[in-house]
Amino acid sequence: MPTDIQHQAMGYDRTATMFSPEGHLLQVEYAEKTVRLGSVTIAIVCSDGVVVVADKRIKDKLIVSESTNKIYEIDEHIIASAAGILSDARVLIERAQLVAQQNRVTYDSAADVEIIIKEIANMKQAFTQYGGARPFGVSVLIAGISKNQPKIFVSDVTGNYFSYNAIAIGENDEKIKDVLRKENNKKLKIDEAIKLSIKILKDVQGKNFDIEKLDIGYINIKGKKFVRLKEEEIRKLK
């Protein structure tokens, strides 16, 4: 009998708190598979800021495109995106927004990017440890400016987080990361990073690529404020 079927028969995958004999938390591993079914987001650290390009994956023309933003503003200098179950992401994003607001009220200063990702990672870790709740089925990407330095962090479903120079989460993430390893460098400008991200998505998605489904935003080091490209600006990038 295959190992995964044995685990199901023995009930090792019925709770997020039960380890399998091999030392795995099976519900957490299932959640990681959910993330790879989500629509893709690419983020790149540039010489003059940070860029996030996300696929909104809108399939119904009746949906108002502005209501399906895939990039979320945490604070004026911090943005976020996610892959996986976006309703799970909404809970984490709202928590991040609250922490950023509390930091401004308490310390009269902008929150550090790593403080935000650490708060999200801690929440996600808790849901892998306590019974009665499933893990968050989402990977969260946080990008922003800290001490005049562009930063990107990603938290996976386990509650771990890492900093990246460039990263992709969601569908076809490994293919995109392979291209980023070859073509990305910190000398890229914001406009060059946007064009590179679109080129990668076009190559990877093929006939499924649609530039009008993209949500594109960036934060410049000088301004330290989130800018989202408007629909007509995105169309001009074709």
CATH classification number, 33-229, choose in 3.40.50.620, 3.60.20.10, 3.40.50.150, 3.40.50.2300 = 3.60.20.10
pLDDT at residue 31, as a whole number: 83
The domain spans of the chain are: 33-229
pLDDT for 58: 79
Q: How confident is the model at residue 155 (pLDDT cuts 50, 70, 90)?
A: very high
Residue 26: pLDDT band with limits 50, 70, 90: confident
Mean pLDDT of the region 214-235: 93
Instruction: State mean pLDDT over 167-196.
Output: 93
Using CA atoms, how far apart are residues 28 and 137, in angstroms rounded to an integer? Answer: 8
Nearest partner of 43 among 89, 79, 85, judged by Cα: 79
Determine the pLDDT at residue 222. 93
- Return the closest-CA partner of residue 16 out of 155, 139, 129, 137: 129
Pairing of strands 138-146, 226-228: unpaired
Read off the pLDDT band of 9 (50, 70, 90): very low
Percent of the chain with pLDDT over 70: 92
Mean pLDDT (the chain, rounded)? 89
Query: How far is it, in rounded angstroms, from Cα 184 to Cα 189?
Result: 11
- Whether residue 12 is predicted with pLDDT greater than 70 in this model: the reply is no
